[in-house]
Amino acid sequence: MKTQAITRRARLGTAIAALAIALGTVGAASPAVAQPTAAKPAETLNLSKGTGSLVRLSEPMSDVFVANDTVADVQVRSSNQLYVFGKGSGETTIYATAKSGRVVYAANVRVGNNISSVGEMLRLAMPEASIQATPMNNLVLLTGTVANPDDVAEAQRLT
């Protein structure tokens, strides 16, 4: 009888030890795994509808992605050159990747009405002012400095 009690205690002790080990590994920290970080656009292209910009890449790319091709699109000129053109008002992003999948170019693209003509009109009407016109969410954002408050109203009227 004594040997049976000792054997039961030994089995019970082994079972408790196994359970403790199993529970301990559930809460244990697993090794850290590096998560890929998303590339954020480093530049912003401001385009008017129907205009474009030639972009030269620092290294060859193999793929191009446009988030919203109703706003802007891309023509690949070579593995190191892209032609980005504005199609419709709005904002989108463009990414170019190398064969390895690494991002070699990333840009926000804002497309609006003919912003360059708005800028020229502001420069002609107020040569002493320093105003930049930027398309944003189907609006024109004016930033800069003017000589007096009346020039602010004039700039808003011209846009």
pLDDT, mean over the chain = 80
If you ran DSSP here, which 8-state letter would residue 87 be given? -
Q: How far apart are CA 86 and CA 107, in angstroms?
A: 13
Q: What percentage of the chain exceeds 90 in pLDDT?
A: 38
Alpha-carbon distances, residue 26 vs 15, 73, 144 (angstroms): 17, 50, 59
Q: 86: Cβ–Cβ under 8 A, 6 or more apart, which residues?
A: 47, 48, 49, 50, 51, 52, 71, 72, 109, 111, 112
Residue with tokens 């846009």: 159
Q: How far apart are CA 119 and CA 132, in angstroms?
A: 7
Mean predicted confidence (pLDDT) in 61-83: 96
For the chain, what's the residue count? Answer: 159
Residue with tokens 């910009």: 53
Mean predicted confidence (pLDDT) in 55-70: 95
Domains of the chain: 43-111 (2.60.40.1080), 115-158 (no CATH)
State pLDDT tens for residues 74-88. 999 999 999 999 999
pLDDT at residue 18 in the model: 52
Residue with tokens 């040569």: 127
User: Which residues sit opposite 45 in a β-bridge?
Assistant: 109
Mean predicted confidence (pLDDT) in 137-150: 82
Contact between residue 155 and residue 141 where contact means Cβ atoms under 8 Å apart:
no
pLDDT at residue 24 in the model: 54
